[in-house]
Amino acid sequence: MNFYILTLFPDMVREGLHTSIIGRAVQAGHLAIETVRFGFCVKLMGEKECRKW
């Protein structure tokens, strides 16, 4: 079973998952977890491009 987790902090999520019961399931090959970092940007008045946070 594959899971994809979208987060701003993929390392923190990965560490938390691998130290729990879910981590045992991943090691046994029952689950596959991939964390994906997503970003967003804010366009302020008068700016031509977005600022990444």
Q: What is the pLDDT of residue 27?
A: 92
Largest CA distance in the chain: 53
- What pLDDT is stored for residue 9 in this prediction? 87
User: Could you give the angle at which helices 21-28 and 10-18 cross, rounded to 10 degrees?
Assistant: 80
pLDDT tens column, 1-53:
999 999 888 899 999 988 889 999 999 999 999 998 877 666 666 666 766 55
Whole-number pLDDT of residue 37: 85
* Domain definitions of the chain by residue range: 2-52
Q: From CA 18, how far away is CA 11, in angstroms rounded?
A: 11
